[in-house]
Amino acid sequence: MRSTCLIAAVLAFSVGGAAPAASTTAQVVTASGAPIGQFVGHGSGYAEDGSLRGTYAVVSPRGYVGDLLPDGRFAQQPALGYASADCSGRAYLEVSNLVGAQPPVPGLVFAFGEAGAVYSIKAGSRPLEITFASTHGLGNAACVQRGATVTAYPLDPHSGAETGFAERYAGPLAIRATAASAPGRATRLPAAPRAGTTMTPPGAKPLPLPPPTPECAVGCYQDNPGDGVCQSECLNSLCGFDGGDCSVEDTAAARALEAEQCAPTCAEVDRGDGFCDARCNSAACAFDDGDCQVP
């Protein structure tokens, strides 16, 4: 299962929106105005309940990258793997979960699980070949037996002294943009995913990105359906309802939900939120209730 954004980067996150122009600096700040780090783009990532939310890609003073949700939590990775058969011991993050990631990574911070535990990939880490005996997916309490050899990054518990990030921030967050010739101003962050572009910090050279793996729906890559793991991102008609990986009950519920939508994967909450969502950009969805330009 791959993340859409995070990462979905200087790592090679795919994020929406361009980095600020060279003449402008922008910081993400807490509700009280305390600076968190350099704002480098809008993106999308997962909340604890597995829903896809708008995120704000930030580079910490120590050069680590994190995607923050508007409420101040780190966005979550969709799945972690383990060498043990019971999802215990050291956790690993499969390289394929990092869209476009090139080893070594500059350093990544993210959360996982209902408790929102924060992990990091240390700057300069290189991935290892490891056999995942088990995996734990976001929003799924069960530990799934896997038995596959993959390329993955070893994870460490988050250390603020190492990464320059706190475990969580007081939201709602805001962007404070300061032009060279103008005083700073604070703007409430929008809270919706945006289309992806390559994110690089101002002044940094872009990282080379491999050819993208085609998606049948947002967050579901074409090699995910039928892989034996039920993934909510794939549980729709565009992806053949995850190729039969999900239970009969879950599939029936997904079919019923889709029957109520104006287009597959276009949720009511996505419409009219001020951002053009490609999945809702059709006449049947009133062109995202006016968020998209009518052709």
Per-residue pLDDT of the chain (295 residues; tens, 9 = 90+): 444 444 433 443 333 333 333 334 688 899 999 999 988 877 777 888 777 777 888 999 998 999 998 889 999 888 899 999 999 999 999 887 775 455 566 788 998 887 889 999 988 888 889 999 998 887 666 788 888 888 899 999 999 999 999 999 998 888 887 544 344 444 443 333 333 333 333 444 433 333 445 678 877 777 778 877 788 888 999 999 988 888 899 999 999 999 999 999 898 877 877 667 778 888 999 988 887 776 5
Angle 192-194-199 (CA atoms, 0-180°, nearest 5)? 125
Q: Is the dihedral of CA 101, 105, 107, 112 positive or negative?
A: positive
Specify the amino acid at residue 51: S
Q: What is the pTM of this model?
A: 0.58
Residue 227 confidence (pLDDT): 79
Question: What does the domain layout of the chain look like in residue ranges?
Answer: 14-79+105-123+153-198, 215-289
Angle 217-226-223 (CA atoms, 0-180°, nearest 5)? 55
Specify the amino acid at residue 191: A
